[in-house]
Structure 1
Amino acid sequence: MTINTLPTAGSLAAPRAILMVGSKVIDWSSWDAGHNGIYEAGTVSIEVAAVFADWAWWTQQTEILVDVYVGFPKDPLNYSASDLTLLQTYRIDSIRLNAATLGITLSGRDLTALLTDKKIDIKFQNQTASQIATYLANQVGLTPNVQPTTDLVGHFFTLDHVSLQRQQSMWSILTYLAQHEGLQCFVLGRTLYFGAFGSQLSNQPYLIQYDPPNTDRPYPTCNATSLEFEHDLTLANDVSVKVMSYHGMKNAVYTSVATSTKTAKRIERDADLAQSVQEYSFTFADLTQAQCDAKAQLLLGQISQHELKMEAKLPGDTIIYPWTPVLVQGTGTPFDTTYEAARIRRRCQADPPRFEVSVHGKTVTDAQTVTLS
C-alpha cells in the first residue's frame, strides 16, 4: 500500500497557502521551504510583496517565527489556516529589503536552529537519552514529544558519556543520542520529536510510477514531472569499513570490519575488477569491541546509502516528509527500489499559481550480506 493513489482521478487541484507571523497573515508572492533530512534543519526563503509602509513593521521585529500552512481546502475561495496543514515553523535569520521593487525577502531555518545555535557544557551524569532530550527541548521553548528510554548514557557508551561533558551544540547532543539509541530526532512546528515514531508517522511509501515507451506510445509517462537517477560506480563494488580503536582504560586495541557483499547483483566484468572491494578505514579513541562493531555497521550503512540516488519533481502535496520512503517502479533497472529522502523542497508561487515538490533520495541500504570480523 502507498500513501498516494495511482492513477490519479484527474480532478482539478487548488492548492492554497497561508503564511503567518503570530496572528499576522503575510502577503507573499512566492516561498521555498525545505526539509533537509530528519537530522538537519530545513531552510526557507519567502518573497513578500510589500509596500514601503510595511518596511517599518518588518525592521522593528527582533524575533520572527513564520508558520507555513499549505493544503487543498474544500472551498479554495473561502478558507483559513485551520483548513490547511502546518508544514513547518521557521525562524527568520535575515531580512533583505529591495529599494527598487519595495519587496522583502525573508530567509531562515526551522526551529531546529534553536538547538543548533546554542552550546552547553552541562555534565549529563546518570541520565537517560530521553531525560536529556526533554531537558534540552524545555531549555529552548520547544514542546517535547519524547519517548522514554531506559539505558543511562554513561552505561552504554563510556566515551559518549565523556564527550557530553564538553561544550557543544544541543542539536549535536540530541542527534548523537538518537543515532546510538536507534531513534528518530526532528523538529516539526514547535515540537521536538525524539523516539521511534513508526506508528505515528506514516511509513507507507510514496510511489513514483514510471512507464517506459512502447509500440503504441513512443514516449514515457510518469506521475513525476521530472525524474533523474545517478549511480555511484565506486560504491557499486563490495564495500568494506574498518574501525580501529585504542581503549586507554582497558589498555587494549580493538578492530572491527563490516563488509557488504553485492556480487550477485553486479554486472560481469574483468576478472581482476570483479574482485575489487572499496575499503574505508576509521580510527576512534576509547571504543570497546562492541562499540567498534556498532560503529562499523553504522558507517557501512551510511556509505552504502549513496550508491543509487534519485531526484524527482512532483505536483505539490503535504504527504512527503523526510521519514516517507519513496518507491520507484517501472524502469526495469536497479533504480526500481526504495529511497530515503535526503532533502525535500516545496516551492509555491502566487502568480501564476504554482506548487511543486522536489525530492532528493538515496537508496536504503540493502546489501545482500553484511559480515563483521
Structure 2
Amino acid sequence: MLNTLPTAGTLAAPRSILMVGSKVIDWSDWFAGHNGVYEAGTLRVEIPAKFVDWAWWTQQTEILIDVYVGFPKDPRNYSASDLTLLQTYRVDSIRLNAMTQGITLSGRDLTGLLTDRKVDLKFQNQTASQVATYLAGLVGLTANVQATKDLVGHFFTLDHVSLHRQQSIWTILTYLAQHEGLQCFVLGRTLYFGAFNSALSSNPYLIQYEPPSSDRSYPRSNAIELEFEHDLTLANDVSVRVRSYHGMKNAVYTSIATASKTAKRIERNATLAQSTQQYDYTFAGLTQAQCDAKAQQLLEQISKHEFKMEARLPGDAIIYPWTPIEVRGTGTPYDTTYQAARVMRRCSVEPSRFETTVHGKTATQAQTVVLA
C-alpha cells in the first residue's frame, strides 16, 4: 500500500510554496486538480489585497506557477527543496477585483499545451519515442522518453488511419503510447513517455472503513468523508452500438459491444443485444475493425461508472489519477478498486487546512484511443 494504516496519529504541519519562476508568490487559498489522461488538470489561486502588486501582475504575459507541498522537518524554516513539486500550471486568466483589490488566478497544467495544439505532420518513418521527443520540444516541454523500436507507420496501417489531417498532439501521443503499452503523462514541465513503474505504481492507496459496532455507535475511517454511488441503470447489462458509413468502401458497418454480469462480448447482430440498456453512436468513415474498437472503447467508458466513490482525505502528494484507490471494510460491493477520475487538493491559510478529494470510478482496463 502507498499509505500505512493505522496512522500513527502524530501532529502534521503541511506547508506549501507557490512560485512564478524564482519569485515566491503569497496566497490565501488554492485549489489544484489532476484529471485523467484526456484533459488537463486545473488550478485556482486566491491572492488577497495585502499581497497584490497590481503593476507587476498586469505586466505579465506568460505565467507558469509551480505548486509545492509537503511536510518539512522544520515547518518554520523551509524552502521549495524541502517540499514535493505537485504540478506546474499555466495561468489562463487573471481576474482583478477592483473593490477588494484581490486577484484570482485560473489555469491548467501543461497537458493543456498538448491538448490545445494541433499538428498536420507525417511521422511514418519515425519511432513512437522519436515522435514523442519531437512533439514535446514543439511546445517547450522537457522529454523524458524511453526508446521504442517500431516505426509508427506500422500502427497507422494496422488501424487504417492516417495522420495526414490535423490531430491534437495529446491524441497522437496517447494513441502511440497505447500501441507501445507505455504510459504518457505530464508532470511539472516534463512529458513522460515510457514504462514508468515507479510513477505509475501498482500499489493502491487504501481507504479503510469500519462500520458502527455494538461497542461504538459511529463509523471509523482514515477518510474524513466517504460517499458511494451505484448507477442502477449500468448495473444491468449494457450494450453500445456503433454504426458507420465508409464512403471509400461504400459500405455500412455495425458493431455492438455488450457487458453483462458474467461476460463482455462484441456482436454484429442487433437481435443478440435486445435485453440490455443500449447506447447508439454513429461515426463517419470507420472500417469494421474500427467500429469494433470504438464500441469496446465506449463500453468501457460507460461501464466504469457503475460504482462511484468520493472521499475527502487528509492532504498529501502521493495520490494522482494513475493511483489505484482500494476501499475495504464496508462489507458491500463498494469494497473494490477504483480508478481516480479526478484528484483535487485544497490548501488555505485561514482556516489552516490541507485536504485531498478523490473522485473514483470502478476500475477497468485502460481506455482505447482511436484516431478516426
Fold agreement, TM-score > 0.5: yes
1:216 has 2:212 as partner: no
* Contact 1:240–1:279 (Cα < 8 Å) also in 2: yes
How many correspondences in the alignment?
355
Counterpart position of 1:82:
81
**What letter matches 2:226 in structure 1?**
L
Does the CA-based 8 Å contact 1:120-1:168 persist in structure 2?
A: yes
| Bigger mean CA deviation after superposition, 275-284 or 309-318 | 275-284
Aligned residue number for residue 269 of structure 1: none
Q: Which residue matches 2:48?
A: 49
Letter in 1 for 2:294: K
The 8 Å contact of residues 26 and 51 in structure 2, kept in 1 or not, is answered as: no
Normalising to structure 2: TM-score of the pair? Answer: 0.87
Post-superposition CA distance 1:89-129 (Å, at most 9, x none): 01111111122322211111111122222222223333333
Determine the structure 2 residue equivalent to 1:313: 312
- CA offset digits 1:105-160 (Å, max 9, x no partner): 11111111222222222233333333222111011110112233444333233496
Q: Which residue of 2 aligns with 1:115?
A: 114
Q: 1:268 aligns to what?
A: none
In 2, the alpha carbon distance for the partners of 1:181 and 1:229 equals: 35
Q: Is the 8 A contact 2:155 2:179 kept in 1?
A: no
SS in 2 for 1:228: strand
> Is the 2:44–2:106 contact (alpha carbons within 8 Å) kept by the matching residues of 1?
yes
In the alignment, the residues of structure 1 paired with residue 227 and residue 32 of structure 2 have an alpha-carbon distance, to the nearest angstrom, of 21
Which residue of 1 is the match for residue 123 of structure 2?
A: 124
Q: CA deviation at 1:163?
A: 4.5
Match of 1:272 in 2: none
Do 1:38 and 1:184's aligned partners in 2 also have CA atoms closer than 8 Å? no
Evaluate the alpha carbon distance shift between residue 254 and residue 158 of structure 1 in structure 2; reply closer, same or farther with a 3 A threshold: farther
Matched, 1:168 2:167: yes
Conservation of the 8 A alpha-carbon contact between 1:206 and 1:326: yes
CA distance in 2, matches of 1:310, 1:362: 6
The change in CA–CA distance for 1:131 and 1:288 in structure 2 (over 3 A counts) is: farther
Compute the displacement of 1:199 (Å): 4.3
| Paired position in structure 1 for 2:327 | 328
Matched with 2:72 is: 73
Query: What amino acid maps onto 1:232 in structure 2?
Result: D
Task: Report if aligned partners of 1:236, 1:307 keep a CA contact under 8 Å in 2.
Answer: yes
| Aligned twin of 2:270 | none
Q: Which amino acid aligns with 2:90?
A: R
Give the RMSD, CA atoms, in angstroms.
Answer: 2.4
Distance 2:156 2:302 in 1: 23
> Secondary structure of 1:175's match?
helix
Deviating more after overlay: 17-26 vs 138-147? 138-147
Between the aligned residues of both structures, percent identity stands at 79
- Structure 1 unaligned segments of length 5 or more: list them: 265-274, 367-373
Please give the TM-score of this superposition, normalised by the length of structure 1. 0.87
**Alpha-carbon offset, residue 331 of structure 1:** 1.0
Written as runs of structure 1 = structure 2, the 5 A alignment for 1:23-38 is 23-38=22-37
CA change 1:40–1:157 in 2 (3 A) is: same
Q: Contact between 1:159 and 1:287, CA under 8 Å: does it hold in 2?
A: no
Distance across 2 between alignment mates of 1:183 and 1:301: 19
Deviates more, 1:140-149 or 1:356-365: 140-149
- Contact 1:68–1:89 (Cα < 8 Å) also in 2: yes
Greater mean alpha carbon deviation, residues 225-234 or residues 192-201: 192-201
SS at match of 1:134: helix
Q: Which ranges of 4 or more aligned residues in structure 1 deviate by more than 6 Å? A: none
SS at match of 1:157: helix
